[in-house]
Amino acid sequence: DTGVSQDPRHKITKRGQNVTFRCDPISEHNRLYWYRQTLGQGPEFLTYFQNEAQLEKSRLLSDRFSAERPKGSFSTLEIQRTEQGDSAMYLCASSPTGVEKLFFGSGTQLSVL
Amino acid sequence: DAKTTQPNSMESNEEEPVHLPCNHSTISGTDYIHWYRQLPSQGPEYVIHGLTSNVNNRMASLAIAEDRKSSTLILHRATLRDAAVYYCILRKTSYDKVIFGPGTSLSVIP
């Protein structure tokens, strides 16, 4: 069990550029979650998957954000035309179905200049 | 959605017990009470959860009021490694997303 892995750990980009983050969940965890966290705040729910199906998206997730989990394993979160307000820590979590706890990765810290 | 209320911050001396309170006066009968904690520069980590009865595990104890309108996370002997933000969360089932509030920032004084 290597835990939830997120790549990259840090990303610096210029406003207007597109960025993509990757999350590798724990093996055989079929539920995968994305969260965003800004300084001093708790993590904010963005979206989650059951296998390859995206079951829920937060209304806070603008059209510039898209997440995929094409084979029910790893997931990607893409932000198009980044804005300074997108600067945050992006966290991924996974869990097996029917298990109460979520396992979080260490996150990707995005800075938009 | 039922809400939780926690103090913004608390302090504790090292090696002493810590009681972290959480109010959830609008809790429904099917809401489980979950606690997560987040150490600096890390993702949140599950601590414990319960429904009605008090719960113990290797990390902490969860004391739930009889009317379930409040609960307390108990760290029996605080260490410097317990300095973190602690989140109290209500969740109906394992199929629900986990919604975090601002949590309680715990400082442990050597």
d(CA B67, nearest CA chain A) in Å: 23
Q: Rounded distance, CA B109 to CA A104, Å? A: 27
Cβ within 8 Å, pair A56-B97? yes
**What residues of A are in contact with residue B62 (Cβ under 8 Å)?**
none
The pLDDT tens digits along chain A (113 residues) read 579 999 999 999 999 999 999 999 999 899 999 999 999 999 999 999 999 999 999 987 889 999 999 988 999 999 999 999 999 999 999 998 877 889 999 999 999 99
**What residues of B are in contact with residue A44 (Cβ under 8 Å)?**
100
**B-contacting residues in A 54-73 (Cβ below 8 Å):** 56
Residue A42 is nearest to which of B32, B42, B102, comparing CB atoms?
A: B102
In percent, how much of chain B has pLDDT > 90?
84
Based on C-alpha coordinates, what's the Rg of chain A? 13
What region does A86 belong to: left with phi over 0, alpha with psi -120 to 50, or beta?
Answer: alpha
Over residues B49-108, the pLDDT tens digits come to 999 999 999 999 999 999 999 999 999 999 999 999 999 999 888 778 888 999 999 999
Q: Rounded distance, CA A96 to CA A52, Å? A: 14
Residue in chain A closest to B42 (alpha carbons) equals A106
State the pLDDT confidence band at B37, using cuts at 50, 70 and 90: very high
Residue in chain B closest to A102 (alpha carbons) equals B46
